[in-house]
Amino acid sequence: MKTPKQAASADVQKKETLNVAIIGFGTVGSSVAKILSSHPAPGLRLTHVYNRGVARKKVDWLPKVKWTEDIDEVLSADVDIIVEVVGGLTPAGDWIRKALSSGKSVVTANKQLIAHHGLELIELARKSGRHIAFGASVAGGVPVISGLQEGLAGDELSKIYGILNGTCNYILSQIDKRGISFSEALAEAQKLGFAEADPTDDVDGFDARAKLTILARVGLHSDGKPEKVLCRSIRPIEAIDFVYARQLQSTIRQVSWAELIGENLLAAVQPAIVSESSPLASVEGGRNLVMSTGKFGGEIIFAGHGAGGNPTAVAVVSDILAIARAKHGGSNGLAEITAVPRNVTNNYTSRHYLRFIVKDRPGIIATIATILSKNDINIDSVLQKPGYSDASLPFVITLESCKSSLVEKALEQMSRLDFMVQPCVHLPIL
Amino acid sequence: MKTPKQAASADVQKKETLNVAIIGFGTVGSSVAKILSSHPAPGLRLTHVYNRGVARKKVDWLPKVKWTEDIDEVLSADVDIIVEVVGGLTPAGDWIRKALSSGKSVVTANKQLIAHHGLELIELARKSGRHIAFGASVAGGVPVISGLQEGLAGDELSKIYGILNGTCNYILSQIDKRGISFSEALAEAQKLGFAEADPTDDVDGFDARAKLTILARVGLHSDGKPEKVLCRSIRPIEAIDFVYARQLQSTIRQVSWAELIGENLLAAVQPAIVSESSPLASVEGGRNLVMSTGKFGGEIIFAGHGAGGNPTAVAVVSDILAIARAKHGGSNGLAEITAVPRNVTNNYTSRHYLRFIVKDRPGIIATIATILSKNDINIDSVLQKPGYSDASLPFVITLESCKSSLVEKALEQMSRLDFMVQPCVHLPIL
C-alpha cells in the first residue's frame, strides 16, 4: 500500500488515467461497469472488480478487467478510486478506511455506513488528501446530495422533506388504490421483488432514517445521531385511513422530515397526511422526491428514480467524475461538508390526525375530548363515515396545530380507556 | 491589470481571502450583497460595487465596500471574482472579456450573453486559467445547471423539457382560471409587474430560447445557435383552448424542449398541450421546472423559484462558492463544458392539436380532412363544443403522432381556404 504522502507525490506527476475498482458486482456494480465501458470517460479506466464467487459473476463484456475474490488485492493495487457497492457497516467500513488510508478515493452508495460513520470517513479522507463521495447513498439517481451541497450552497436551508423509500411508497399507494390491507400489500410487494423478505428496514423507517441523517448533514449542516431520529412504522396504516385522508383532500406518504428548530435538529420518519396539492403527494411508485426550504431561494424540488441499478449507477459515476476533476487538478475541488453536532428532537409542531377504532357506546367523544382539552389540545374536526359495526367503529379526530409531545401524552392517557379496540393511529398533517 | 500569468502566480501564494465585486446593484445584485454580508463565507470579501448613479444606490449596510461608477476601477482592482448582473450583450460582454483576460473569474446571470457567446467566454476563461460560472442564467434559484453538469454527469441525457418563463406561466394560468383573453391577462401581468412594458422577450419565447440553448449545451453537450431555435408566441392562445385542453385531460404551458435526434438538436419554445398528470402541468405562477431524460437514470426533475432577486442571488452565491473552492485549491474544480456544434432542427414528432375558427358552412371538416389525408396525416379526434356563433365557430382536430413539418405544410395549404376566420392555432401534444 502507498502511504498518503507517496500517493500525493504520485498525484503531482498528474498521471493521465485514473484507475477505478468496483467492490461488489451486484445490480449497481454491474451498472457502473456498464456505464463506464459504454461511454468511457477520458481519463478513467476500470481495472478491478471484487466479488465473492467471481466465477459466477464474471462477464465477457469487461475483457480488460482483473477479477478477484481477494479484497487485499484491490486495496493494494494501483487503483485511484474505489467504488464500494456492497453495503452494510462491516466489512465495507473497514475496506473504505483501508482504501482512504492508503491514498485511494472512495465512491460509495452505502447509506447506513455514511449515516453512522460519515463524518469520521470524511475526516479520514481529508487527512489523506483524498475524497469520499456518497451521492448514490440517498435517492438513487436524483442528484440531491450535490444539489444541496453545491447547487444550493449559497442559501441557508432550514427544512428538508423527502419521500425516500420506494417500498413504502408502493405499499401505501396499493392500499390507497385498491383498498387492501397493509399485510396484503406487503405480501404482494415481496412477491414482486419491491420489498425484502424481512421488510423491517423499509416499512419501519430505518432505511429512510439513514438517508435523512445524510440529507440533514449535507443540507442543514447538522449532524444528528441516526438512532435518535423518530421512526414510526407504516404498518398500522389501513385502507380506512386513505378514506379519511381523501376527505381532507389529502393522501398518506412515508415522509422524512428534518428541520432546524433553534439549536436542535428535528428529525422524523413517519407516515403523514399530505395535501393532494403537495409535491409529496404526486410521487408515484419507486420514485423519490426531496424538497428543501431556504431562507433566500424558497422551496426547491429534486425528483426522480430513487432506486435501481442504473439510476444509482448514474450517481456513482457522477461522483467518480467529480473526483476525477478534482484529482486531475491535484486538489480538493469537492465541496467540504461542515456539519455541527446537534441534539435531535422528535417534538414537532403540526396539525394532527388521530384515527381511533372503538367499541361504540355513548360518551366516547366526550371522554376523548376531555382528555385532549386537559392537555391544552384543540379539536379541529371529527370525521365519521357511516356503515361500520359498533364493535369496531373507526372515526377520526383532527387537531389544530400543536406540539406532538402534547398529543403523545394525551394518547398515553387514552390508551387505558376500555373502549379502545386498538391503539390510536397518530399522523402529522403536513 | 494583472496578466493571467501574474494572476496565476498570485494564486500559488494561495491568499486566504478572495475579493468579490458586484457589477450592477439592482434586485439581484443587492440580494447577492445581502447574502454575502448576512452569512459571510470564510474566505470571501465583497470589496467593490459598480453601478451608475452610485449616490442613489448606496446602502449603509455595506460599510466596507468601495462604490464606484467607473467600471475600469473595478476591472483593474485586486478583485478575484466579478459578479455581473447588469444583463444584455453589451457592454456586459466586453466587461466580462476584460475581467477574464485580466485574471479574474466571473459569475454571471446573463442568459442572452451566455446563450450567444458562452463557448467563447468559457474558452477565454480556460485560457486565462480562470472560471466563468452561470448557474443563475437559467431558472433562477433552481440548481439545474450544476445538476445537469455535475449531478447527472454520469448519465447520457437525450431530452430536456422546461418551464422556463414565469411571465408566460402566469399569463396562461390566468387565461385558464378566469377565462379572460390573452390581452387582458397580459395587461394585468404588466400592471402587477410580472410582465415588462415590452413583453416580446417573454411571450414570444426569446427569453426561454436563451435558457434552452444553455441547457442544451450543458445537459446535451450540444451547441445550437439560439436564433435557429423554433420560437412560437403564446399570443394566439385564448380561453377556448383551455376548454378543449381540459377535454383532453390537459392544460397549456409554454414548454421549452431540446432533444437529440440523430446528429441534430431539436430545439423549440412554444405553447404546448401537456397532460394534467405531467409535472409540467403542475408548475404554478413564477415557478420553473426542468425535466431531463437520461439513458440510465430516466426522468429527473428540478423545480423551484425561477426568478426574483433572492432565488437568483442564491445561484450566484453558489457559483461564487464553487469558484472559491476551485481557486483555493489553485486548480480547475469546476466541470468543463464540452459541447459539439449541432444543426438545430425544428421538425419534431408528436401528436398535434389544431384549433380552427371558421365561418360555418357544410363541408368544412371534409375539406380539412382531405388536405390532412393528402399530407399523410391521420386524424385522432374532432372536438366541437356547442353554443358558438356560426360566423366564428371554434373547433379542434387532434392528430395522431406525425412530423410537425407535415402539419405545417398542410396548414399552409389550409390558410388559403375562404372559411378560415383566423389562422389555425397549432400546438404539439406532449
- Residue A293 is given by DSSP the state E
Domain co-membership, B262 together with B396 = no
Domain co-membership, A268 together with A153 = yes
Domain co-membership, B150 together with B241 = yes
Domain co-membership, A232 together with A363 = no
CATH number at residue A368: 3.30.70.260
Of B314, B322, B330, the CB nearest to A331: B330
Q: Which residue of B has its CA nearest to A142?
A: B300
pLDDT at position B284, please? 84
Check: CB of residue A279 under 8 Å from CB of residue A163: no
Domain co-membership, A247 together with A300 = yes
Q: Which amino acid is at A177?
A: K
pLDDT at position B38, please? 87
pLDDT digits (tens, 9 = 90+) for B156-179: 999 999 999 999 999 999 999 999
pLDDT digits (tens, 9 = 90+) for A411-422: 999 999 999 999
Mean pLDDT of A345-357: 97
Domain co-membership, B128 together with B22 = yes
Report if residue B56 sits inside a domain: yes
B420 vs chain A: nearest CA distance in angstroms? 41
Report if residue B89 sits inside a domain: yes
pLDDT at position A356, please? 97
Mutate to test the interface with B, among A275, A299, A318 (most CBs of B within 10 A): A318
Report if residue B344 sits inside a domain: no
Choose, from B98, B104, B111, B211, the residue flagged as catalytic.
Answer: B211
The mean-pLDDT minimum among A156-170, B204-218, B289-303, B331-345 falls in B331-345
Helix/strand/coil for A55: helix
Q: Which amino acid is at B271?
A: P
For A360-419, strand residue ranges (E) read: 379-383, 393-403
> What are A305's three cell numbers?
428514480
What is the rounded distance in angstroms from the CA atom of residue A188 to the CA atom of residue A387? 28
| B65 band by pLDDT with thresholds 50, 70 and 90 | very high
CATH number at residue B29: 3.40.50.720
CA B375 vs. chain centroid, Å, equals: 34
Mean pLDDT of A295-311: 95
What is the domain extent for residue B195? 144-305
Domain co-membership, B133 together with B154 = no
Residues of B in contact with A328 (CB under 8 A): 332
Mutate to test the interface with B, among A155, A220, A295 (most CBs of B within 10 A): A155
Does position A375 have pLDDT exceeding 60, yes or no?
Answer: yes
Mean pLDDT of B218-230: 96
Domain co-membership, A114 together with A134 = yes
| B266 band by pLDDT with thresholds 50, 70 and 90 | very high
| A285 band by pLDDT with thresholds 50, 70 and 90 | confident
What is the rounded distance in angstroms from the CA atom of residue B49 to the CA atom of residue A407? 53
Domain co-membership, B274 together with B286 = yes
> Between A355 and B39, whose confidence is greater?
A355
What is the rounded distance in angstroms from the CA atom of residue B33 to the CA atom of residue B17? 16
Check: CB of residue B280 under 8 Å from CB of residue B289: yes
Of A296, A316, A326, the CB nearest to B310: A296
pLDDT at position B7, please? 40
What is the rounded distance in angstroms from the CA atom of residue B14 to the CA atom of residue A351? 52
Q: Are strands A393-403 and A420-429 parallel, antiparallel or unpaired?
A: unpaired
Interacting residues of B102 by C-beta distance below 8 A, sequence separation 6+:
B1, B2, B3, B4, B7, B75, B76
Contact flag B314-A296 (C-beta cutoff 8 Å): yes
Does position B322 have pLDDT exceeding 80, yes or no?
Answer: yes
Of A300, A314, A326, the CB nearest to B294: A314
Q: Which residue of A has its CA nearest to B34?
A: A296
| B40 band by pLDDT with thresholds 50, 70 and 90 | confident
- Angstrom CA distances, B299 to A236, B259, B305, stand at 32, 14, 20
Chain-wide mean pLDDT for chain A?
93
Of A156, A299, A316, the CB nearest to B304: A299
pLDDT at position B219, please? 97
pLDDT at position A328, please? 61
Q: Which amino acid is at A201?
A: D
Report if residue B343 sits inside a domain: no
pLDDT at position B3, please? 38
Domain co-membership, B171 together with B228 = yes
Report if residue B205 sits inside a domain: yes
Q: What angle do CA B401, B406, B410 make, to 5 degrees?
A: 115
| A16 band by pLDDT with thresholds 50, 70 and 90 | confident
Q: What are the beta bridge partners of residue B356? A: B395
Measure CA of the first residue to CA of the last residue in chain A; give whole Å. 52
What is the rounded distance in angstroms from the CA atom of residue B86 to the CA atom of residue B71? 12
pLDDT digits (tens, 9 = 90+) for A262-273: 999 999 999 999
pLDDT digits (tens, 9 = 90+) for A69-100: 999 999 999 999 999 999 999 999 999 999 99
pLDDT at position B13, please? 42
Mean pLDDT of A331-347: 77
Does position B6 have pLDDT exceeding 50, yes or no?
Answer: no
Domain co-membership, A166 together with A289 = yes
Reported ipTM:
0.93
What is the rounded distance in angstroms from the CA atom of residue B195 to the CA atom of residue B39? 32
Looking at A289, A321, A341, which one is the last position of a domain?
A341
CA trace torsion B368, B371, B373, B376 (10° rounding):
-130
Residues of B in contact with A313 (CB under 8 A): 154, 296
| A335 band by pLDDT with thresholds 50, 70 and 90 | low
Does position B422 have pLDDT exceeding 50, yes or no?
Answer: yes
The pTM assigned to this predicted structure is 0.93
Contact flag A302-B147 (C-beta cutoff 8 Å): yes
Domain co-membership, A152 together with A298 = yes
Report if residue B266 sits inside a domain: yes
Domain count, chain A: 3
B196 burial level (CB within 10 Å; 0-12, 13-18, 19+): middle
CATH number at residue B258: 3.30.360.10
Does position A252 have pLDDT exceeding 70, yes or no?
Answer: yes
Mean pLDDT of A300-328: 92
